[in-house]
Structures are given as structure tokens and as C-alpha cells.
Amino acid sequence: MLRENVTMNVVGSGTLLVTWVKGAGADTDISVSDGGSNTFTMLPHIMKGPAHGGCFGYILSATANATAAFTAAFTDSVTYRGVCVWQFTPGAGKTVY
């Protein structure tokens, strides 16, 4: 499997994480996780041919991990690989519905 990595401090439960994984090449399965309890739900994607494609994923309530190292894994050969992860945390005393 080909991999790309990104590290961050996941601050706590209730945090929304969003990922974008990009690449070009084969239509491939994509998975993203920190190797622990934070595994993204990946949405349908297109990554065929020489054109760039990609896929969004999300975790609605992430588990705290001060040294999270998220890895994107591809089942087939993909060029121009990359991964971004965004973290959205509600303010103190706030509730997200």
C-alpha cells in the first residue's frame, strides 16, 4: 500500500475531523486512520486516469490523541498523493447538534 501521513493533536471527544485525500491514477480504495480509534468514514470518490481526483472523509466525534499520525492508504498505485486533515472543536460549554 502507498501511504501519506499528517500529524496533529486531536484535542478531545466531540471534535469533528474532516479529511481530503487526493491523487491521480488507478481507481483505488482509500482508508485514513491514526492507527488507533480514529478511523475516517470515507465518501465515494473518483480517482481514474491522469486527471486528479480525490475523496472526503469524516469522523463525527474523534477520540483525543495528542500525537495522532493519520495515514492515508491506497490499495493501488496512485501518483500525486496527498492528505489534509482539519479539526473543528466546539467552544467550552457549547453543544453541537
Per-residue pLDDT tens for 7-19? 899 987 778 999 9
Task: Tell me, yes or no, whether 90 lies in a domain.
Answer: no
41's grid cell: 468514514
Is the residue at 14 inside a domain? yes
As a whole number of angstroms, the distance between CA 84 and CA 55 comes to 11
**Does 97 map to a domain?**
no
Average pLDDT over residues 14-43: 88
* Residue 96 maps to a domain: no
Q: Which residue has the higher pLDDT, 95 or 43?
A: 43
Q: Which tens digit of pLDDT belongs to each residue from 35-66?
A: 889 999 998 876 655 567 788 999 998 999 99
Q: Is residue 91 part of a domain?
A: no
Residue 2 has pLDDT above 50, yes or no: no
Cα distances from 43 to residues 31, 57, 58, 88, 90, in angstroms, run 10, 6, 8, 19, 24
Q: Tell me how many domains the chain contains.
A: 1
pLDDT, position 78 = 79
What per-residue confidence (pLDDT) applies to 45? 72
56: domain CATH number?
Answer: 2.60.40
The pLDDT of residue 1: 43
User: Residue 64 sits in which domain range?
Assistant: 2-85
Lowest mean pLDDT among 54-63, 65-74, 75-84: 75-84
